[in-house]
Homo-oligomer: A and B are copies of this chain.
Amino acid sequence: MTAIAVPAPDPDFQCPACYRIVSIMKFCSQCGAPVALRIPEGDTLPRFVCGRCHTIHYQNPRMVVGCIVEWEDSILLCRRAIEPRYGLWTVPAGYMENGETASQGALRETLEEANARVEIGPLYALYNIPHISQVYILFRARLLDLDFHAGAETIEARLYAENEMPWDQIAFATVRNTLTHYYSDRRRGEFKFHMGTIEQIKK
Contacts and interface: CB of A to CB of B under 8 A. Distances in A.
A174 to B, nearest CB: 13
A11 interface: yes
Interface of A: 11, 18, 20, 22, 25-35, 42, 45, 48, 55, 57-63, 95-104, 123, 126, 128, 130-131, 133, 135, 137, 152, 193, 195, 197
B99 A133 contact: yes
B20 A26 contact: no
Contact of A60 (B57, B96, B104): B96
Given A95-B58, A96-B60, A126-B123, A102 B135 contact: yes
A26 B18 contact: no
Contacts of A28: 27, 29
Contacts of A102: 126, 128, 135
Given A11-B30, A32-B27, A101-B128, A60 B133 contact: no
